[in-house]
Amino acid sequence: MEPVMQTVRYLDDQGHTCQELPLWAHEMEPLLECYRWMLLTRQFDQKAIALQRTGQLGTYPSSLGQEAIAVTLGLAMEPDDVLVPYYRDHGTQLIRGCGMKDILLYWGGDERGSAAGPQQDFPVCVPIATQCGHAVGAAKALQLQGRSQAVACTLGDGASSKGDFLEALNLAGLWQLPVVFVLNNNQWAISVSRQKQCAASALALKGMGAGVRSVQVDGNDVIAMFDELTQALEAARAGQGPTLIEAISYRLSDHTTADDASRYCPQEELQQAWKKEPVARLKRFLTSQGAWTEALEQKWLEHCQHTVNSAVQHYLEYSPQLPEAMFDHLYEDWPTVMEDQLQAFAERRQRRLGE
């Protein structure tokens, strides 16, 4: 009785095509672009973790193994679409013009990290699934204003259990909003496995109860992801309503640098998952097509390293906010009735710095 979801995929784990490719994927350049961004994202992640380990960054969530989702989303979106991310979308953020320095600032405990990026994009969202409400609100605003832009909202498999997502999904279906939910099913919500999160055979089935077109995609297959994302975003922009994309992937890292996955993640499962990871898979395909070589790889990795290093430099040298910055932007203007707070702060500052 339960409908079975077919997982859309074009490349198998070995990077061989398993069905006729969509037309656009006959060109190599779009795929090369994906590949390059995936490598850059991975390099960035590694560096961020290194910074954290050496006390130069706070807790950081790596996207290792899920780069295909973030990167294809970034590339499938138009610049004036709206990104409503969660916290594991560094690849998407980078493509949309959020600087590495800014991402590092955010995870380095500096609010200014969220000042960057396209004006309309939402900042990193920590309270799980709450961004889904924002996404449908933003989509409603676009619909009301008669714009043909789309909203893309990311979330995790854990987030799919939280009411916020389910309520927003319902509204998206009801009001036929221009929104695409991209569910990064990386099989874990910290230590809680996908099986302990939901009994449905596919998380994409949650779209059924909301009247939302839903699809399950191999999230480590760049071709499938880009194709489905492009279709869904185009449908949204064309007023054809929302889509839920469940992207099947695997979290190859700890949840964050504060986590130790070896406590709960079976070693063989992790090893199996490594065999399906998106970077090697696409590399095999591109190499088999003669579009990529070790030499190109080395060159690109050097470029990545350079880019990342100079961003890190920029980050580390960035002058800190003033202590009183905590009061900024809370209200449009700091209310006069609250000036005694500034006074109290000034005294604290004076006491501590002797200034």
Ligand X SMILES: Cc1ncc(C[n+]2csc(CCOP(=O)(O)OP(=O)(O)O)c2C)c(N)n1
Point out which residues bind Mg ion (CB under 5 A): 156-157, 186, 188-189
Task: Please count the CA atoms within 13 angstroms of the CA of 219 that sit on its side-chain side.
Answer: 29
Q: Residues touching ligand X: how many (CB under 6 A)?
A: 15
> Which residue in 14, 27, 115, 127 binds ligand X (CB under 6 A)?
127
Q: How far is the CB of 168 from its own copies (least distance, A)?
A: 10
Residue positions counted in the chain: 355
Q: How far is the CB of 258 from ligand X (least distance, A)?
A: 10
Binding site for its own copies (CB under 8 A): 1-3, 161-164, 166-167, 170, 173-174, 176, 196-201, 203, 205-213
- The helix (run of H) or strand (run of E) holding residue 215 is strand 213-218
Binding mask 78-117 for ligand X (x = CB under 6 A): ----------x-----------------------------
Q: How far is the CB of 33 from Mg ion (least distance, A)?
A: 26
Task: Say whether residue 157 binds ligand X (CB under 6 A).
Answer: yes
- d(CA 76, CA 78) in angstroms, rounded, equals 7
Residue with tokens 């469940």: 246
Stretch that binds ligand X, among 7-15, 153-161, 173-181, 234-242 (CB under 6 A): 153-161
Torsions phi, psi of 100, nearest 5? -60, -40
Q: Name every residue whose Cβ is closer than 8 Å to that of residue 198 and which is 6 or more positions away in sequence.
A: 157, 160, 161
Q: How far is the CB of 287 from another protein (least distance, A)?
A: 39
Q: Name every residue whose Cβ is closer than 8 Å to that of residue 344 and which is 6 or more positions away in sequence.
A: none
Nearer to another protein, 144 or 295 (CB): 144
Q: How far is the CB of 350 from another protein (least distance, A)?
A: 10
- d(CA 147, CA 139) in angstroms, rounded, equals 10
Nearer to another protein, 263 or 355 (CB): 263
Q: How far is the CB of 156 from ligand X (least distance, A)?
A: 2
248 neighbors 185 (Cβ within 8 angstroms): yes
What are the b/e assignments for 263-281, b being 16+ CB within 10 Å?
eebeeeebeebeebbbbeb
Task: Say whether residue 126 binds ligand X (CB under 6 A).
Answer: yes
CA distances (Å), origin 138, targets 134, 153, 247: 6, 10, 23
Q: How many CB atoms lie within 10 A of CB 9?
A: 20
Q: How far is the CB of 231 from Mg ion (least distance, A)?
A: 24
Please choose which of another protein, ligand X, its own copies, none residue 186 contacts, taking the beta carbon within 5 to 8 angstroms, the exact cut-off set by kind: ligand X
- Best CA proximity match to 38, nearest among 5, 14, 6, 70: 70
Nearer to its own copies, 203 or 217 (CB): 203
CA distances (Å), origin 180, targets 28, 74, 138, 343: 26, 13, 12, 47
Please choose which of Mg ion, its own copies, ligand X, none residue 32 contacts, taking the beta carbon within 5 to 8 angstroms, the exact cut-off set by kind: none
292 neighbors 32 (Cβ within 8 angstroms): yes
Please choose which of its own copies, Mg ion, another protein, none residue 243 contacts, taking the beta carbon within 5 to 8 angstroms, the exact cut-off set by kind: none
Please choose which of its own copies, ligand X, another protein, none residue 45 contacts, taking the beta carbon within 5 to 8 angstroms, the exact cut-off set by kind: none
Nearer to ligand X, 31 or 203 (CB): 203
Torsions phi, psi of 192, nearest 5? -95, 120
Tell me which amino acid residue 4 is: V
Please choose which of Mg ion, another protein, its own copies, none residue 221 contacts, taking the beta carbon within 5 to 8 angstroms, the exact cut-off set by kind: none
Q: How far is the CB of 132 from Mg ion (least distance, A)?
A: 15
Residues 211-250 that bind ligand X (CB under 6 A): none
Q: How far is the CB of 111 from Mg ion (least distance, A)?
A: 26
**Spacing of C-alpha 33 from chain mean position:** 17
- Site residues (vs ligand X, CB under 6 A): 88, 126-128, 156-159, 184, 186, 188-190, 251, 255
